[in-house]
Amino acid sequence: MTKSKARDAQLKARITRNKAKRDKYKRVKNSISNHSLNFQRSVSGVDSLIETCKDALDKLNGNAGYQSYLSNFQTKLTNDKKTLTEYRDFVKDANTSFINLYDTLEEKISVLDVLIDSDQAEFNEGHTPFVDEYYYWWD
């Protein structure tokens, strides 16, 4: 079965475009993996610090004698606990986003691999390797 030169050119362009996309996705995926962001990170250290702050605040609030001369400390500790809680939540959300991005990239790479293989098979159909002038060398 012979195909037109235009169809061969379309297939080559599509393969090149899909390979470029796949390589870009692989670079991002590898960058995420190299920074160990592709799995759930533990925030237990921050959790224990928040719990310690909460316990200290409970003691301060539970004893009226502490409130008079430690009111500045109590206010600062309350603000610090709030900041730590926001930080922990941000880290969890960011980590989840990186994991989701990593999974999405894996899926897109798999789809592009299938598309590239399909286009290569269609291009090679009817071509005689090393003889045909339009033979496309696959890497």
In sequence order, which ranges of 35-70 are alpha helices (DSSP H)? Answer: 44-62, 64-69
Q: In whole angstroms, what separates CA 100 from the centre of its chain?
A: 6
What's at 68, amino acid-wise?
Answer: S
Q: Where are the domains of the chain?
A: 5-124
pTM: 0.73
Positions of E strands within the chain: none
Distance CA 137, CA 139 (A): 7
Residue 73 C-beta-side C-alpha neighbours within 13 Å: 12
The per-residue pLDDT for range 23-57, each reduced to its tens digit, is 999 999 999 999 988 988 888 899 999 999 999 88
Contacts of 108 (CB under 8 A, 6+ apart): 21, 25
Pick left, alpha or beta for residue 126 (phi over 0 → left; psi -120 to 50 → alpha; otherwise beta). Answer: left
The per-residue pLDDT for range 59-102, each reduced to its tens digit, is 887 777 666 667 788 888 899 999 999 999 999 999 999 999 99
